[in-house]
Amino acid sequence: MNEKRNGKRTAAGTVILGILAALAATLLLTGCPKKAVAPVAPETPSAVQPQAPEEAPGEPVMRVEPALEGAGRAAGTTSAQAVSAIEETDIFFEFDSFDLSPTAKKTLADKAAYLKAHQGIKVQIEGHCDERGTVEYNLALGERRAKAAYEYLVFLGVDPKRLSIVSYGEERPVDPGHNEEAWAKNRRAHFAVSQGY
């Protein structure tokens, strides 16, 4: 309950707060419906330790310096329509390449047209790789894929201030498979609406 209370609390208000608190507790106990944005996911029980049992003197947790706490970028509100027009279609790349295929350019042209017609929308372009490359190189390659899409959208007249990029390297595959079919789906740039109506 982050809402600010002003004025004195009435008896009825106290009852309502009590009911809300009970509801919140029930929700917590039964589990949130889903999509609770938890920065740290719970750890699975560690049956995988091959060595001496893990000694946890108070489970270690790293914390960012105080000035940065809660520094994740807040997402704005978005409409379902904008989300599907922008987010539905990814563009795809060849292995170890960030060249835009004719199909990718056509997809980007559609997105540019939509973005020009809907000026309130801001988009984050995510660059992704398949699992075959190595981690550090794929972080750089994912960046170049996102940047290639970014530059083409800017070339098509989209205001660069409405675009941002992020590389996820090989960390966020859409298909967890270990075959060419999966890899082809994972070598992609994805477009996420970060703000707009």
* Residue ranges in contact with other proteins by CB under 8 A: 39-41, 43-44, 46-52, 54-57, 59-65, 68, 71-73, 96, 133-137, 139-141, 143-144, 147, 165-167, 169, 171
Residue whose structure tokens are 């560690």: 46
Cβ proximity to other proteins, 31 vs 72, nearer residue: 72
Q: Nearest Cα to 94, choosing from 148, 167, 171?
A: 148
The CB-of-44 to other proteins minimum distance in angstroms stands at 5
The CB-of-168 to other proteins minimum distance in angstroms stands at 8
The CB-of-80 to other proteins minimum distance in angstroms stands at 22
First CA to last CA across the chain, in angstroms?
A: 27
Q: What are the beta bridge partners of residue 190?
A: 126
The CB-of-197 to other proteins minimum distance in angstroms stands at 22
Which long-range CB contacts under 8 A does 88-94 form with residues at least 24 apart?
89/191, 90/174, 90/188, 90/189, 90/190, 90/191, 91/149, 91/188, 91/189, 92/184, 92/185, 92/187, 92/188, 93/145, 93/187, 93/188, 93/189, 94/187
Cβ proximity to other proteins, 12 vs 74, nearer residue: 74
Cβ proximity to other proteins, 11 vs 47, nearer residue: 47
From CA 141, how far away is CA 168, in angstroms rounded?
Answer: 9
The CB-of-9 to other proteins minimum distance in angstroms stands at 36
From CA 24, how far away is CA 1, in angstroms rounded?
Answer: 9
The CB-of-129 to other proteins minimum distance in angstroms stands at 12
Residue type, 10: T
